[in-house]
Chains A and B, each alone.
Chain A
Amino acid sequence: MKVDKLIVGKKKFNSRLIVGTGKYKNMSECAKAIKLSGANIVTVAVRRVNISDKKKPLLMDYIDPKKITYLPNTAGCFTSEEALRTLRLAREIGGWKLVKLEVLGDKKNLFPNMIETLKSTEILTKEGFKVMVYCNDDPLMAKKLEDLGAAAIMPLAAPIGSGLGILNKTNILIIRKQTKLPVIIDAGLGQASDAAVAMELGCDGVLVNTAIAKAKKPFVMALAFKHAVIAGRQSYLSGRIVKSLAGNPSSPTEGII
């Protein structure tokens, strides 16, 4: 079979599953789950260093940024200004240009503020960032992001951490069909089959955090998502049969005794 890689901002990745590194019990659980998931990209947050506790374990000691691509995010930012500041700092830590922009507008549902998001995408792109953009499942906004130079469109399936799965398959399909950019489902998945559905819709990847980190058995769920993404992608590429309302026997009707 032809090598089927995820390409974002001219970089190639073997795995189409991106995982978040938040909400795990500890760093070693997080590192093991990531390993099992087979992800090549992990999202990370930018926060103040704990000055008073020097012995606190560092993420980089558990997940080697030379082996796994860190995708800095702007989680917790509610304005363009905050998001830009965060990503400029992230770039300064280690030269990362591939980033995930997420500007929230609604504290309860964590829906994106698309006005601030569009503004930030334009500025960051001009500064040389490759911006993967968390957005709502609105084809019009997705188109605007593409026009402004986004590196990937990341529509939500459902509110962050909700586990509801893909709520608007039609919109996701429309977004997928109208853009040349990678479409990566971000947020709201609850179980492995949700990821398979996303991939069968033709999405290029999925980003999962809570569904793995907060499963009763995160390691088992990490594996489940890995397989679901591969299965969904292959299913999409296989050219599925046409749906029919009538039955169609699987065994030959000739030669029946």
Chain B
Amino acid sequence: MKKIKKIKIRLNGKIKNISARYKLHDLLKELDLPLKKVAIEINREIVDKNKIKTIRLNNGDNIEVVHFIGGG
């Protein structure tokens, strides 16, 4: 059986191993995140949420997913 190649990314500050084939869309699906309620950054660049199906993730990518919480 062919082993699926893994890559390392940093997601909200934590190291995570994912399949090298992952698109951003696959990662968000795995995390079960409501797309309408979050914003995403890859390596400090804001991601267009309409394009997540085509965005490929690379080894060492720094991904931030944020949302709104209570604040003054």
Asked if A pairs with B, the answer is yes
Residues of A that sit less than 8 Å from B by CB: 20-24, 27, 30, 43-49, 51, 54, 58-60, 70, 72-73, 75, 85, 88-90, 92-94, 160-161, 187, 207, 209-210
Contact B72 A89 (CB under 8 A): no
Chain B 1-37, CB-CB to A under 8 Å as 1, else 0, gives 0000000000111100000000000000001111011
Contact B37 A58 (CB under 8 A): yes
* Chain B residues, CB < 8 A from A54: 31-32
Q: Categorize the interface residue count of chain B.
A: 20 to 34
* Chain B residues, CB < 8 A from A160: 72
Contact A48 B68 (CB under 8 A): no
Contact A93 B39 (CB under 8 A): yes
Main secondary structure of the interface of A (DSSP, over half): mixed
Contact A20 B71 (CB under 8 A): yes
Contact A93 B68 (CB under 8 A): yes
Residues of B that sit less than 8 Å from A by CB: 11-14, 31-34, 36-41, 44, 46-47, 49, 64-72
Whole-angstrom distance from the CB of A92 to the nearest CB of chain B? 4
In the bound assembly, the distance between CA atoms of A22 and B69 in angstroms comes to: 8
Contact B71 A73 (CB under 8 A): yes
Whole-angstrom distance from the CB of B55 to the nearest CB of chain A? 14
State which of B31, B46, B71, B72 has its C-beta within 8 Å of the C-beta of A92: B46
In the bound assembly, the distance between CA atoms of A199 and B67 in angstroms comes to: 33
Contact A51 B46 (CB under 8 A): no
**10 smallest beta-carbon distances between A and B, as pairs:** A45-B71, A20-B72, A209-B72, A92-B39, A21-B70, A44-B68, A89-B39, A22-B71, A93-B39, A22-B72
